[in-house]
Structure 1
Amino acid sequence: MRKLIVILWGLSITSCNYFDVKKTSTETILNEELKTFNWKDVDEYPSFSSCDNAFQKEERKKCFTQTLINTISNQLAHQNIVVTEDVADTVVMRLQVTYKGELNVLSIKADSLTYQQIPKIDSLLTSTLNALPKIYPAVKRSQQVTTQFDLPIIVEVN
């Protein structure tokens, strides 16, 4: 009996480490989760109500960009732009859709010839965005998020 008590006592002393609970802080869990998080992709792209019938992620993105391009093109077509030389350029607009659904123009990049022939191209392009319907922001993990993207616009004036 004495040998059994000594063996049990010896086992209980060496097994104490098995009963220790390792505590993991919430910061450690958050940091591990952030490492696996893809910051460059969203679950749902920004959209318009006209894009609600598109169920696939890529279809919604295409519908959103196509609606933007069509609205800008239609608005620019109503402008009377006079140039001395033909202009054929791809203007790149960097846009931001906030988590509240607000559209902001971050920058507009165009060729120097385009700026020379159409000095007010920035204000023309920015004013065309006023005709857009309500924008629904992008969604990442069930949260509305701010996104930004580049929108190429082909400008041709003869």
Structure 2
Amino acid sequence: MKRLIYFLLFLGVSSCSFFESQQKRTQEQIDEKMLGIDWSTVDSYPLFDSCDEGVTKDEQKKCFEETLASHFQETLSEFEFTLTDKESEIVEVIFVIDTMGRINVINIEKDASVLTQMPEFDGVITQSLKNLPKLAPAIKQAIPVNTKYRIPVQLKTN
């Protein structure tokens, strides 16, 4: 009977360390795999419904950028912005497309003269991004991921 109790105690103690070492090895393998992933790129760009998901990554990027540029151009042409200080001004729009395909404006970097001459500019840009057609998020390792973009918008003067 004593032997059975010692055996059960030994089994209980050794099985805990067995599971701990197996868990530790699994975590080490996960950590190693994570280090090998290039997090600066995505496997698939965010896609509008009008873009074909079966094309190459470069073609997906081109469709995304062209659709975005076309939408910006359409939206901004509806408003009359006038800059008088410079021949042209470049405004940087920084936004994130989240894992649900929603767009969140992070910042709009612009010269102080743009803010002074066009105080409604930020609202127009933000609303333009919110009114984009339906968007699927970027994909990395078969998982939807957040992606951050910086888009230059060139404003011309009269």
TM-score range, shorter chain: 0.7 to 0.9
* 1:86-101 correspondence runs (5 A): 88-101=88-101
CA contact (8 A) 2:102 2:135 kept: yes
CA contact (8 A) 2:97 2:103 kept: yes
Q: Secondary structure at the match of 1:51?
A: coil
Distance 1:54 1:122, change over 3 A: farther
Count of aligned residue pairs for this structure pair? 137
CA separation in 2, counterparts of 1:68 and 1:60?
A: 12
* 1:6-155 correspondence runs (5 A): 25-52=25-52, 55-85=55-85, 88-155=88-155
- Runs (4 or more) in structure 1 with deviation over 6 Å come to none
Task: Give the TM-score normalised by structure 2.
Answer: 0.78
CA contact (8 A) 1:69 1:153 kept: no
**After superposition, what is the alpha-carbon deviation per residue over 1:104-142, rounded to whole angstroms, capped at 9, x for unaligned?**
111111122222221221111111123311001001111
Match of 2:18 in 1: none
Q: Secondary structure at the match of 1:25?
A: helix
CA contact (8 A) 1:85 1:117 kept: no
Q: CA deviation at 1:97?
A: 0.6
Rg larger in structure: 1
Q: CA deviation at 1:35?
A: 1.1
- Identical-residue share of aligned pairs (%): 31
Which structure 2 residue ranges, 5 or more long, are not aligned? 1-20
Which structure 1 residue ranges, 5 or more long, are not aligned? 1-21
